[in-house]
Amino acid sequence: MQNQRILVTGGAGFIGSNFANTLAEDNGVIALDDGYLGTPENLNDDVEFVNASVLDDDLPTNVDIVVHLAALSSYQMHEDNPTKGARVNIEGFVNTVEQARDDGCDTVVYATTSSIYGSRTEPSPEDMAVETNTGYEASKLARERYAEYFANHYDMNMAGLRFFSVYQGYGGAEEHKGEYANVIAQFADDMANGEQPVLYGDGTQTRDFTHVDDIVRGIEMTAEKKLTGVYNLGTGQRYSFNTVVEMLNDELGTDIEPAYIENPIPESVYVYDTCADASKIKEEAGWEPEINFEEGIRQVCAQYQ
């Protein structure tokens, strides 16, 4: 993608800054962030940073493409303040898209969530029946419905991406997320510092871990194709937390056993297994993951060696 004006909300956060920094080489990129989960330190000098909230008026939406990633992005954040979660994730989305529409922008790519699939060991397709068990999931499904409205009523290109367990490691912008960082980053940092990684339950839960570089490519390709609909971004493979610890031990040259604790998240809402069926995005945009899990683990551990 070249010579486009792009607004990235949540642009100083983990995924947002990776996307903004990558696209800023050939495009004019604005990263908008209120500092809740992001920091301008994550951004390269050629990215324009705007300190603002998606709930504000007069957003810098006079662009060709909006990539809307701003959100309260976890179950616990929503439980701490459900009203704030709904305002940021739903009202903030509608506010941003409406301002973009008024400014003549017709292409929006936005983050929804793969959590709505619940616990599944089989690959989850976008058209399967889903239900919401958390305020976080409800807010992201509301985004999808509002996106459908903007697409149908105003003929906008509205693509929702359901990300699967995105990771990079503390060598990148993920470090700023701290306790909200992917478990791979947290486990690797603990183990590299001689500490036991803490696993919920027995560690047999699995995730479809997807490297942030593949996510960035998926967002870019979706925007370029001006897609409309909902799409999974994941690898279609899953690994248990126990396996992650084994692989990190191998790569770091350590021999550290995990510490197992009782899961503090209610069983009714905890997702034990995730796995993406990404055939739709492959067919419509040509996207498929390029970084296999072994290489991803190597990249996470490289900073410690």
What pLDDT is recorded for position 266?
87
**In the annotation, is 146 catalytic?**
no
What pLDDT is recorded for position 75?
81
Average pLDDT on 189-196 reads 97
- Are 77 and 19 spatial neighbours (Cβ–Cβ below 8 Å)? no
Confidence of residue 12 (pLDDT cuts 50, 70, 90): very high
19 alpha carbon, distance to own chain's centre? 11
What pLDDT is recorded for position 58?
97
- Residue range 178-205+238-273+293-304 forms a domain whose CATH class is alpha beta
Rounded CA Rg of the chain: 19
Report the chain's mean pLDDT, rounded to a whole number. Answer: 96
Q: Where in the chain is the domain with CATH 3.90.25.10?
A: 178-205+238-273+293-304
What pLDDT is recorded for position 135?
92
What pLDDT is recorded for position 56?
98
Q: Where in the chain is the domain with CATH 3.40.50.720?
A: 5-167+208-236+275-285
Distance (Å, rounded) from C-alpha 281 to C-alpha 180? 27
Distance (Å, rounded) from C-alpha 260 to C-alpha 301? 22
**What distances in angstroms separate CA 202 from CA 180, 192, 207, 241, 284, one per listed residue?**
21, 22, 14, 9, 39
* Number of residues that this document lists for the chain: 305
Tens digits of residue pLDDT in 166-184: 999 998 888 888 888 999 9
Tens digits of residue pLDDT in 69-95: 999 988 888 888 999 999 999 999 999
Tens digits of residue pLDDT in 266-303: 888 899 999 999 999 999 999 999 999 999 999 999 99
- Are 69 and 9 spatial neighbours (Cβ–Cβ below 8 Å)? yes
What pLDDT is recorded for position 152?
98
Distance (Å, rounded) from C-alpha 132 to C-alpha 121? 18
Tens digits of residue pLDDT in 233-248: 999 999 999 999 999 9
Catalytic residue among 75, 136, 167, 231: 136
Provide CATH code, domain 5-167+208-236+275-285: 3.40.50.720
What pLDDT is recorded for position 268?
83
Any residues with CB less than 8 A from the CB of 80 and at least 6 apart, and which?
Answer: none
Confidence of residue 265 (pLDDT cuts 50, 70, 90): confident
Would you say residue 37 has pLDDT above 90? no
Among 35-39, 42-46, 83-87, where is mean pLDDT lowest?
35-39
